[in-house]
Amino acid sequence: MRQFKAPWGTVLWVMSALATSICIAIAALPNSPWARTLPLLGMAVAALFIVRDYRITPDSILITRLMWTTRLPLAGLQSARRPTDADRHSLTIRTFGNGGFYSITGWYWSKALGAYRCFVTDPKRIVILKFARRTIMLSPDAPEEFIRALPPETRAP
């Protein structure tokens, strides 16, 4: 099994610090108990989705979260590659998920990739995994090594 860290990029640090500060400031205001509790609850829920690392096993990719692991079977993986300029400059829409409060996770859509699922902590380290029926975006600490650790037939030329 190969393990790759999920380091936070500058964008995630800034967004998370800003969101945390806002939640704490709202919770500190003299208002109803619900108004104090909801921002702290939001922080706790967002923290659950933190991506801690990525592990490649012989048959799957494991995405370790704070309290659970998401398993992506390697069966059907067609390619693994770094983003192209077209990927980077394509309009992206978050259809459901978190855009930067401790992680960039959820379901997104872009003209270049179509619908995809995101498990990202640093947009500068992205790896795009194309499966037969889905596309996944990750951000391991060593993207090129991550791609080389996958089965050879999945590496983009």
What is the per-residue pLDDT for 155? 59
* CB neighbourhood size of 41 (10 A): 13
What is the per-residue pLDDT for 47? 94
What is the per-residue pLDDT for 145? 96
* pLDDT tens-place string over residues 43-54: 999 999 999 999
Break the chain into its structural domains and give their ranges. 2-154
Element (H, E) at 70: strand 69-73
* pLDDT tens-place string over residues 104-123: 999 999 999 999 999 999 99
Within 8 A by CB and 6+ apart from 50, the residues are: 65, 66, 102, 103
Q: What is the pTM of this model?
A: 0.90
Residue 80's Cβ-count burial label (10 Å; 0-12, 13-18, 19+) is: buried
Residues forming a β-bridge with 4: 54
66 band by pLDDT with thresholds 50, 70 and 90: very high
Q: Which residue has the tokens 């099994």?
A: 1
CA distance 4 to 87: 23
What is the rounded average pLDDT of the residues 134-147?
Answer: 97
Write the DSSP symbol of residue 144. H
What is the per-residue pLDDT for 151? 82
